[in-house]
Amino acid sequence: MLLTSSFVTTLLIPPEAYREGGPASGRALAYLAHDLFGHSFGTLYDLSTIVILWFAGASAMAALLNLIPCYLPRYGMAPWWALNARPLVLVIFLADLLVTIAFEADVEAQGGAYATGVLVLLLSAALAVALSFWRESGPFPDQVSGSLRTRSISLFFWLISLVFVYTLLENVLERPDGVIIASLFILVIILLSGISRYRRSTEFRVERMAFIDQASKDLWPLVSGKKVHLVPLRRADPASRRRKRQEILRYYQIQDPVAFVNVQLLDNRSDFLSPLQIRIRPDGDDFLIEILGAIAIANSLAYLSEQIDPISLMLGLTRQNLMTQAFKYLLWGEGEVGLSVYAILIRYWDWTKEDDVRPLIFLMSE
């Protein structure tokens, strides 16, 4: 329909009518509707295009209301209230107003950004479908039933993708303002997402906690409820545990058991929340707690501390550069664990009533 309408309007509309400010500028089909079928039909066509645009805007908002809660809060790129429809509708509506005011409600001014965005969206969809069918065809298409047909469908969508690549490049070269405006929108989204992730970095970031085996579940009452001192370790081998315990006894007089904690991070830490798996093993008079499936060390330790309610937390301080620690924490959930655990717990305690004796926190240089 797009190709046919472009072909028809190119043949039937005089070039001078297409010029900026001309009667067909930005409304080629409406011009033909008035010119060929009369003003009554043309007015009806104008009203129908307005209604269609209304529905297009409504469908775009409905899509955003479904997509944003599924992805942005999940990656920490939006606050939790983005999961609710009502405030999200107001935010999207406010963005619509700002865009309309910024472009002075000029269709031509918004056309470049709109066309660039739609073409990128269509190209992405075509590539996704082509890759999906290509994977389904398998590595040996002659030996898999139906894979030849799947490979043919994939080649068809690769051709469609090439058409969209050509159209996108042609549109960008003709109207580079669209790329500039779209890039500004992307930069704003990335900036706001970064601010959101920074503000939410002191959350627990734990979806739930589960025990790996029954033995760990049976040992849980022995470590929870002011029964142990919680000591995180980067390496949980016997030599490291023995050396750390000797260091603690050198400076502190403790008589209660020590629960050494080792956190193992996921390879993929893009999600903002993750479920934790807990394994508890006895270690003489002490205990070894392993946290599996974490996405951030400090947040997982703070969450475990609130679940166990230990006598004290003995956290290690690294000797790394502060900027290096900040980047490690932002990108990989590592960095200065001791201070991060303290900041997360302080924020959580500010939100909750002090109805029990909170653990003592000791910061020890490593």
pLDDT tens-digit map of 303-345:
999 999 999 999 887 777 777 777 776 666 666 788 888 888 8
- The string of pLDDT tens digits covering residues 4-29 is 998 999 999 998 898 878 888 888 99
Tell which of 147, 171, 199 closes a domain.
Answer: 199
Check whether residue 125 and residue 150 sit in a common domain: yes
Check whether residue 48 and residue 142 sit in a common domain: yes
H or E segment and range at residue 337: helix 337-351
Check whether residue 180 and residue 260 sit in a common domain: no
Check whether residue 123 and residue 238 sit in a common domain: no
Per the structure, the count of domains in the chain is 2
Q: Which tokens in the block code for residue 204?
A: 């627990």
Check whether residue 88 and residue 108 sit in a common domain: yes
Check whether residue 132 and residue 226 sit in a common domain: no
DSSP state of 19: S
Check whether residue 107 and residue 230 sit in a common domain: no
Tell which of 166, 199, 232 closes a domain.
Answer: 199
Check whether residue 12 and residue 103 sit in a common domain: yes
Number of Cβ within a 10 Å radius of residue 37: 12
Q: Could you tell me the CATH number of the domain that includes residue 312? A: 3.40.50
Domain that holds residue 297: 206-365
Asked whether 337 and 316 are in contact (CB, 8 A), the reply is: yes
Instruction: Give the type of residue at 176.
Output: P
Task: Report the alpha-carbon angle 288-354-257, nearest 5.
Answer: 20
Using a cut of 0.75, tell me whether the model's pTM lies above it: no
* Number of Cα atoms under 13 Å in the Cβ half of residue 225: 4
Check whether residue 271 and residue 304 sit in a common domain: yes
Check whether residue 237 and residue 168 sit in a common domain: no
Check whether residue 316 and residue 334 sit in a common domain: yes
SS3 274: strand
| Higher per-residue pLDDT: 302 or 148 | 302
Check whether residue 149 and residue 239 sit in a common domain: no
Q: What is the pLDDT of residue 349?
A: 87
Tell which of 163, 179, 199 closes a domain.
Answer: 199
- The string of pLDDT tens digits covering residues 20-61 is 788 888 889 999 999 999 999 999 999 999 999 889 888 888
- The string of pLDDT tens digits covering residues 324-333 is 777 776 666 6
